[in-house]
Amino acid sequence: MADAPLAALEKLQGQLPPHLARSDLAELAVLLRYAERGAWAFAIYNTVPVRDEVAEVLRQLLAPLPIYEFNLSTQQPNPLTFLETLPTAQERAIVFFFDLEQTGGAGWGYLEMQRENLAARPLGLVFWINRPAWAEGVRTAPNFWSQRSGVFDFTINSPAVLSEVRGAWAGQPVQLDSPADWERQFRLFSGLLREYEDEQAPPAAQAELHGKIAYLLNFADRQAEAAAHLQQQLELARQAHDRRQQVEAMNNLGWTTQLQQGRAAALDWYRQALAAAGSDRRGRADSLRNIASVLFREGQPAEALSMLHEALDLFRAVGDRLGEANTLKAIGDVHNFRKDLDAALASYAQALDLFRAVGDRLGEANTLQAIGDVQRFRDENDAALASYAQALDLFRAVGDRLGEANTLKAIGMFNLEQNQVEEALKLLEQALQLYQQIGDRVGQANIYWNLGLHLAQQSDLKQAEPLLAQAVALGQQIAPNHPVILHWLTVLEQVQSQLSTETGKS
């Protein structure tokens, strides 16, 4: 095997699990590698983890050919729509289309109709389908089907292997290290959930998947969908008498509720979770930490701190290093709020070490940003900027837009204070766009407020007034008559009054 992909495959074959080390994998790689004018291939699977494993191996084998992935759905059933978003129509590339089965038949209709358009592109199109979809394709898109180069079989026939592979993947934790991870894991866990539902798998196993999907949806700021999955997780966990999952679902429902309806409603869920946890130390620790976060924000830092220390002991007792790291970060936040900066930095430093040790890049980014805030407060500006820069890189790497926006805002505000207005405006504008994309009104209001205030302080009242007005308007929508918003309103009224006096004078 002189050819690079083949040589790589040969090397890889020995390392692949038996269910992947099969001739269809090598054959599909060869076809995609050499069909330079493009080819259409169908890859048959009966479990999504294997689909993703094969896709991953192909990515390695076909490098440096660009590989794109698209998920089809009833909302987006047309493959051509995706192809039209590719960088250039004439670039050779491989495109994986997932979930053609989920288009309600419309996907096949588009393929049949648009095959000449598809054939005009030098693309290796791989359609991942299950067996029922195979029969549907042969019948409903006969002409498209007749132009295919081949069908490649990745189904697993042994029920024992199938169950083992599914179980291994369903048990994987959610790990978000890049934006592509989100897509892949959402596809994987959603697909596994469909398979589990079809086969009426035990409720506890289905509940786990609902929980993971909810986590991913929350991360993507799709709280309403996340809440629906968490409710299902809770219901299934109750059926299975799985206390750990019930507590987990309640705590996470608290978090989505907090984002949607505020802290008071969230507190109910957290308290229910604490009650349900009973002697389950990890569940208890999670619930205590969540209750503490609400109390802290409601102005009860002492109570919060005491609960956080209780939670910390529990996490340490069960050896949960991620829980420990998160709690240390929260303790640092309380110290920071009380301006006990040495204690805050000490907690953050411990948290940072733990996040790095467990490989949680998002936790690492959040902690670095908090460290940057403390350093700024202490006027250790170079150190603060260095911490922010590290945090920004990590947020971008994991695709956390809210974290990215918060850090951009922090750096932008720093520049504004240093009177580096042009650089500041650029960063704040980027942050504002991200907040708008996410729909984070608090972030937007803060930026308008800070910009407006800066301009007012520079006596540019005319430019300041509309920004302050926008901040107040958003603030009143989010938290009507909140003391902070009332303060903003007072400042706005002062600016407006001064403006009208100046207008009167002129």
Partner 1 sequence: MKAKTLPEVIRAFDPMHPLTGQELQEWYIDRPGNPLERIKIYLQGLALANEPVKLLFTGHVGSGKSTTLNKLAEELKRQFLIVPFDARQSLSIADLSYVDLLLGMATSLFKRATEPDVLGKAPSQIATDVWTDLTGFIEESIFGPTHFRPAPAEAEASVKVSLLTAEFQTKFAKEATTRDQVRKWVEPRLAELQDKIDYVADLVQVHYKRPVLFFVEGTDRPDLSVARALFLEHGYSLTAFRTSAIYTFPIGLRYSKDFNSIKDYFTETFMLPNLKVANPDGTPHPEGLACLISAIQARLTTGLLADDARDHIIRASGGLMRTLVRLTQRAAVNSLAAGGAAIALPHVEAAIKEERADFVAGLSRDDYPILYERYQDKQVSADEAVLRLLQTRALLEYANGDPWCDVHPIALPLVLERAAPSLQD
Q: For residues 129 and 101, is the Cβ–Cβ distance under 8 A?
A: yes
Cβ-based nearer residue to partner 1, 37 or 378: 37
In the complex, least distance from residue 41 CB atom to partner 1, rounded to whole angstroms: 10
Smallest CA-to-CA distance from 152 within 61, 9, 11, 32 is with 32
In the complex, least distance from residue 139 CB atom to partner 1, rounded to whole angstroms: 6
Smallest CA-to-CA distance from 293 within 317, 257, 346 is with 257
In the complex, least distance from residue 20 CB atom to partner 1, rounded to whole angstroms: 14
In the complex, least distance from residue 43 CB atom to partner 1, rounded to whole angstroms: 12
The residue with tokens 């369903």 is: 170
Cβ-based nearer residue to partner 1, 40 or 270: 40
In the complex, least distance from residue 105 CB atom to partner 1, rounded to whole angstroms: 11
Cβ-based nearer residue to partner 1, 30 or 240: 30
Give Cα separations from 45 to 13, 99, 133, 157, 198 (angstroms). 19, 11, 10, 10, 15
Q: For residues 362 and 392, is the Cβ–Cβ distance under 8 A?
A: no
Q: How far apart are CA 391 and CA 226, in angstroms?
A: 26
In the three-class reduction of DSSP (H, G, I as helix; E, B as strand; rest coil), residue 350 is classed as helix
Cβ-based nearer residue to partner 1, 93 or 424: 93
In the complex, least distance from residue 95 CB atom to partner 1, rounded to whole angstroms: 14
In the complex, least distance from residue 11 CB atom to partner 1, rounded to whole angstroms: 13
In the complex, least distance from residue 371 CB atom to partner 1, rounded to whole angstroms: 53
The backbone torsions φ and ψ at residue 102, rounded to the nearest 5 degrees and listed phi first, read -90, 10
User: How many CB atoms are located within 10 Å of the residue 176 CB?
Assistant: 20
Cβ-based nearer residue to partner 1, 10 or 197: 10
In the complex, least distance from residue 336 CB atom to partner 1, rounded to whole angstroms: 55
In the complex, least distance from residue 69 CB atom to partner 1, rounded to whole angstroms: 21
Cβ-based nearer residue to partner 1, 116 or 382: 116
**What H or E segment, with its residue span, contains residue 108?**
helix 106-113
Q: How far apart are CA 205 and CA 282, in angstroms?
A: 19
Cβ-based nearer residue to partner 1, 96 or 110: 110
Q: How far apart are CA 230 and CA 283, in angstroms?
A: 16
Residues 6+ away with beta carbon under 8 Å from 279: none
Cβ-based nearer residue to partner 1, 122 or 179: 122
Cβ-based nearer residue to partner 1, 41 or 236: 41
- Residues of the shown chain interacting with partner 1 in the complex, contacts defined by CB under 8 A: 1, 3, 6, 10, 23, 26-27, 29-31, 33-40, 109, 112-117, 119, 131, 134-135, 138-139, 142-143, 145-151, 153
User: How many CB atoms are located within 10 Å of the residue 488 CB?
Assistant: 23
Cβ-based nearer residue to partner 1, 45 or 145: 145
Q: For residues 339 and 373, is the Cβ–Cβ distance under 8 A?
A: no
In the complex, least distance from residue 132 CB atom to partner 1, rounded to whole angstroms: 9
Two structure tokens written together for 183: 């897509």
Q: How far apart are CA 257 and CA 278, in angstroms?
A: 23
Q: How far apart are CA 338 and CA 301, in angstroms?
A: 8
In the complex, least distance from residue 39 CB atom to partner 1, rounded to whole angstroms: 7
Q: How far apart are CA 289 and CA 298, in angstroms?
A: 14
Residues 6+ away with beta carbon under 8 Å from 365: 390, 391, 394, 395, 398, 400, 403, 407
CA angle 267, 268, 271 (to 5 degrees): 85
Cβ-based nearer residue to partner 1, 114 or 498: 114
Q: For residues 308 and 330, is the Cβ–Cβ distance under 8 A?
A: yes
Give Cα separations from 9 to 2, 21, 93, 190 (angstroms). 11, 9, 19, 29
Cβ-based nearer residue to partner 1, 6 or 389: 6
DSSP assignment of 129-179: E-HHHHHHHHHH-HHHHHT--EEEE-----HHHHHHHHHHHHTSPP--SSH
In the complex, least distance from residue 21 CB atom to partner 1, rounded to whole angstroms: 12
DSSP assignment of 353-375: HHHHHHT-HHHHHHHHHHHHHHH
Cβ-based nearer residue to partner 1, 141 or 236: 141
Q: For residues 88 and 56, is the Cβ–Cβ distance under 8 A?
A: no
